[in-house]
């Protein structure tokens, strides 16, 4: 048996087309949905990723404003830029790209992103709203995992799902989205002990740790579904996930590839969130123009 590969490419394209359609409708009403991406690093892979967002936005008819503050930007400058963008009516979505300059913390800064423009669910207010089931933008990566599971008709209600990783951008919000879908959720992390203690009973394992080869075939049940969120750049420049594909492929029923899995869907969702944010902002600004 070899695991079926759950490619995210077709789903990513479908979501991008939906965002494009939304953008066309908004444009007809005189509004160009626009995403601002704030960058403060000279890290090559970050710039590569930001350019890929810019290209994807362009192909979906969405404006993309890259605000590159350079690797020496101070926390004050970053805070002030985020506040300005939050108040700028021509910007509908804002992402603060990591890594940030040494000594500059993400936690305080993301609080400056207006919740209605927080298309990557970074502001703690967004996570809080998610926790109590109120409308908010979930981090695009967490939502991408759910969209992939839905796309391939993998049931979640009553299923045993293990999430490896508890970060505020992936593991925690994903565990909330899974709970919302009636899964029984276990969250593992660097201090939860041997992975197999949890993963050997899981119907679905989602790994988001940023550790090459962390999840091995011996960790998973025969027939499990494995979603690989990890993105690790090897010394030769190639991109791999957190799953040891060679050993997992023979045991799991299905596995997302890296690249071409969760990441591709994530970018499309950022664009869709931007159009959703633009529509909502237009509706609130002009009462009665729900469109």
Binding site for ligand NAD (CB under 6 A): 141, 164-167, 169-171, 188-190, 208-211, 214, 229-232, 262-263, 266
Residue 161 φ/ψ, nearest 5 degrees: -115, 130
> How far apart are CB 138 and ligand NAD at their closest, in Å?
12
Rounded distance, CA 77 to CA 260, Å? 35
Q: Are 220 and 198 in contact (CB under 8 A)?
A: no
What are 199's strand-pairing partners?
none
Helix axes 9-28, 262-285, angle to 10 degrees: 20
Quote the tokens at residue 96: 């603060």
Pick between residue 31 and residue 215 the one whose CB is nearest to ligand NAD: 215
Pick between residue 61 and residue 261 the one whose CB is nearest to ligand NAD: 261
Pick between residue 155 and residue 260 the one whose CB is nearest to ligand NAD: 260
> How far apart are CB 12 and ligand NAD at their closest, in Å?
11
> How far apart are CB 26 and ligand NAD at their closest, in Å?
25
> How far apart are CB 233 and ligand NAD at their closest, in Å?
9
What ranges in the chain are assigned the alpha helix state H? Answer: 9-28, 44-59, 75-87, 106-109, 124-131, 140-151, 171-180, 196-199, 245-248, 262-285
Q: How many residues does the chain have?
A: 291
3-state SS track over 171-187: HHHHHHHHHHCCCEEEE
Pick between residue 63 and residue 257 the one whose CB is nearest to ligand NAD: 257
What is the Rg, in whole angstroms, of the alpha carbon atoms belonging to the chain?
19
> How far apart are CB 291 and ligand NAD at their closest, in Å?
30
Q: What is the sign, positive or negative, of the torsion defined by CA atoms of 285, 289, 290, 291?
A: negative
What are 32's strand-pairing partners?
none
> How far apart are CB 208 and ligand NAD at their closest, in Å?
4
Q: Three-state DSSP class for 255?
A: strand
> How far apart are CB 210 and ligand NAD at their closest, in Å?
3
Q: Are 94 and 81 in contact (CB under 8 A)?
A: no
Pick between residue 45 and residue 90 the one whose CB is nearest to ligand NAD: 45
- 215 DSSP assignment: B
Phi-psi region at 216: left, alpha or beta (left = phi > 0; alpha = psi -120 to 50): beta
Chain position carrying tokens 């690093």? 41
Rounded distance, CA 253 to CA 7, Å? 14
Pick between residue 165 and residue 281 the one whose CB is nearest to ligand NAD: 165
> How far apart are CB 91 and ligand NAD at their closest, in Å?
22
Pick between residue 130 and residue 282 the one whose CB is nearest to ligand NAD: 130
Pick between residue 26 and residue 38 the one whose CB is nearest to ligand NAD: 38
């Amino acid at each position: 048996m070899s695991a079926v590969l759950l490619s995210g490419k077709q789903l990513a394209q479908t979501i991008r087309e939906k965002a494009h359609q939304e953008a066309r409708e908004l444009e007809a009403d005189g509004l160009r949905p626009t995403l601002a991406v704030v960058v403060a690093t000279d890290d090559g892979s970050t710039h590569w990723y930001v350019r890929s967002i810019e290209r994807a936005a362009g192909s979906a008819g969405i404006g993309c404003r890259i605000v590159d503050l350079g690797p020496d930007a101070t926390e004050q400058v970053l805070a002030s830029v985020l506040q300005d963008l939050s108040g700028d009516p021509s910007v509908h979505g804002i992402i603060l790209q990591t890594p940030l300059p040494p000594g500059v913390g993400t936690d305080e800064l993301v609080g400056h992103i207006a919740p209605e423009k927080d298309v990557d669910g970074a502001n703690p207010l967004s996570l809080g709203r998610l926790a109590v089931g109120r409308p908010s933008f979930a981090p695009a990566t967490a939502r991408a995992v759910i969209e992939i599971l839905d796309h391939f008709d993998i049931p979640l209600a009553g299923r045993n799902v293990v999430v490896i990783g508890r970060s505020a951008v992936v593991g925690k919000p994903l565990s909330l989205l899974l709970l919302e879908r009636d899964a029984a959720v276990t969250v593992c992390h660097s201090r939860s002990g041997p992975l197999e203690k949890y993963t050997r009973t899981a119907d679905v394992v989602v790994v988001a740790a940023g550790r090459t080869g962390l999840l091995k075939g011996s960790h998973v049940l025969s027939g499990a579904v494995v979603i690989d969120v990890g993105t690790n750049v090897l010394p030769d420049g190639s991109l791999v996930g957190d799953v040891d594909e060679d050993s997992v492929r023979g045991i799991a029923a299905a596995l997302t590839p890296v690249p071409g899995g969760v990441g591709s869907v994530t970018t499309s969702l950022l664009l869709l969130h931007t159009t959703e944010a633009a529509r909502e902002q237009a509706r609130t600004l002009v009462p009665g123009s729900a469109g």
